[in-house]
Amino acid sequence: MPRLSWKRFLGGCCGGANAGVEPPKVPKRRVAAVNSPSTTKISYSDISSATPPLSPKDLSLSLVGSHLHAFTLQELKAITRGFSMSNFVGQGGFGPVYKGMIGENLRPGLAAQTVAVKQLNLHGAQGHKEWLAEVIYLGQLRSQNLVKLIGYCYENEHRLLVYEYMAMGSLENHLFNNVLAPLPWLARLKIAVGAAKGLAFLHEADNPVIYRDFKASNVLLDQNYEAKLSDFGLAKDAPQGDDTHVSTRIMGTNGYVAPEYVMTGHLTTKSDTYSFGVVLLELLTGRRSISSSRPSREKDLVEWAKPYSRDPQRLHRMMDPILEGQYSSTGAQKAVTIAYQCLSQSPKRRPDMRSVIESLEPLCGLRDIPPGLFVYTADDGAREKSRTEKGEYTIEVEEERELHVHRHKTRLSHHNAAVSRVKNVGREWEK
């Protein structure tokens, strides 16, 4: 039986059934507030500066047709079991996040589903403006690479947001949390392409948007490793017409912010491109953009990786050791090159995100991955019929992930055994 191409598995990365075919030029997407032709996109800049601030009723009327649900606080308490700690899933700059379950009868037209409920911390760094930015942008922007906002709660001092639930959590946790199974090479490529598509969607809208806070913790993953951008609290309307940039106070996360933005306060879509380059390096190296616990020369990822990126013979020294060499050397070298193009000190020399996508997607098809993966094929049997109607397929990515999980568990077992032996020696010494 012939060996089958694994491209079909990575639909989000390599184009699914059209894998290997050069993607057509995608026209800029039209972004509208609602599906009705009689309405236009709401400007966050206009609403955020309104005096006095919009009332809950005014906000609801402004978002008519956006399909957002205006939940009551009581409803959100019910679906999160009173914001129970057993439903707590994480904490961000905005506030705590809880898992919730919407029942079939909560309200008409709302399907039963698992959701994530983000609650504004009234004493945190973010406030009403950041909450409003999320409602305005995600209430109007729809893309498979943006997390879906289902609704919000605007009741007295309470500000909450209700999203689709992302089962695999954030990219940050998968890269830097030693408890989770490591990300295999093909999954990393798929995530990079998906995140790039999310940024391109924002930049190519009729009313372009600058994300301004692109980082690993804001990239969420579903069960198929599809990447979606979340947390639009710092997003800004991009310059239009003759304007070349937006002047704004400097906000973002240290290690991801473009240098020209830090120095001048001038914000452009190329500021997002720089941040993407940093995250792409994190995907390749498994290191954080800023690592205070590392030696001084290794603290700054962008500077530390630069010498290795220029020498193909030394490239392996910067790659994530947890990959154990199971990656395409050609693909890795090209990905590093793309990363440093995005990290150019000159914004004009950075590629736009559409060009980044076109450069990254072909890397999914490179096959110079060292042997070691168990790859097998399947015929058109009844059990696999639905998966083989379009021809051959492979589960190489799934097998690659299982292999990494097994190795991770083995290392963890050896580590725990070593810790146990050390403790036993200590007890014997005390005796």
pLDDT in tens, 226-269: 999 999 989 999 887 666 667 777 888 999 999 999 999 989 99
Domain assignment present for residue 243? The answer is: yes
Do 172 and 244 lie in a common domain? yes
- 136 pLDDT more than 80: yes
In a shared domain, residues 60 and 88: yes
Average pLDDT along the chain: 79
Residues 6+ apart with CB under 8 A from 305: 281, 284, 285, 318, 336
Structure confidence by residue, pLDDT tens digits, 264-295:
998 999 999 999 999 999 999 999 999 999 99
Which residue type sits at 372?
G
Q: List Cβ neighbours of 144 (8 Å cut-off, separation of 6 or more).
A: 226, 228
CB 116 within 8 A of CB 135: no
CATH number of the domain at 262, please: 1.10.510.10
Q: What is the pLDDT of residue 9?
A: 38
Q: What is the pLDDT of residue 209?
A: 94
- Do 226 and 276 share a structural domain? yes
In a domain, 209, yes or no: yes
Are the beta carbons of 95 and 118 closer than 8 angstroms? yes
pLDDT in tens, 328-358: 999 999 999 999 999 999 999 999 999 999 9
Query: Count of domains in the chain?
Result: 2
Cα separation, 169 vs 99, whole angstroms: 12
* pLDDT, mean of residues 402-415: 54
- My answer on whether 222 and 135 are in the same domain is no
The three-state secondary structure class of 221 is strand
Indicate the residue among 164, 195, 223 that finishes a domain: 164
Mean pLDDT of all residues in 360-372: 87
Please state, for a pLDDT cut of 70, what percent of the chain lies above it.
71
> Residue 415: inside a domain, yes or no?
no
Same domain, 120 and 150: yes
> How do residues 98-118 score in pLDDT, each as one tens digit?
999 999 888 888 999 999 999
Examine residue 141 and state whether it is found in any structural domain, yes or no. yes
- For residue 400, being part of any structural domain is answered with no
| Buried b or exposed e, range 312-328, using 16+ CB within 10 angstroms | eeebeebbbebbeebbb
Place of tokens 């309405």: 39
Tell me, what's the pLDDT at 241? 66
Do residues 157 and 199 both lie within one domain? no
Catalytic residue among 58, 206, 213, 222: 213
Same domain, 147 and 178: no
- 235 lies in the same domain as 265: yes
Provide Rg for the chain, Cα atoms: 23
272 given a catalytic annotation: no
CA distances from 365 to 15, 20, 168, 349, 369 (A): 11, 7, 25, 27, 11
Average pLDDT over residues 36-64: 61
**Which whole number is the average pLDDT over 44-57?**
64
pLDDT higher at 71 or 376: 71
Angle between helices 396-430 and 185-203 (to 10 degrees): 120
Question: Which residue range is the domain that position 346 belongs to?
Answer: 6-17+168-365
Is 427 inside a domain boundary?
no
Question: Residue 96 sits in a domain of what CATH number?
Answer: 3.30.200.20
- Do 202 and 159 share a structural domain? no
pLDDT of residue 37: 33
> Given 344, 365, 386, which residue is the final one in a domain?
365
Cα separation, 403 vs 396, in Å, equals 10
Indicate whether 116 belongs to any domain: yes
- Say whether both 146 and 257 belong to one domain: no
Q: How much is the pTM?
A: 0.76
Domain closes at, from 140, 164, 188: 164
- pLDDT for 45 equals 59
Most confident of 24-28, 139-143, 407-411: 139-143
Q: Is the pLDDT of residue 16 over 80?
A: no
Distance CA 417, CA 163 (A): 41
**Is residue 349 domain-resident?**
yes
Q: 125 falls in which pLDDT band (50, 70, 90)?
A: low
- Say whether both 276 and 348 belong to one domain: yes
Q: Please indicate, yes or no, whether residues 222 and 209 belong to a single structural domain of this protein.
A: yes
Altogether, the residues listed in the chain come to a count of: 431
Cβ 20 vs Cβ 186: under 8 Å: no
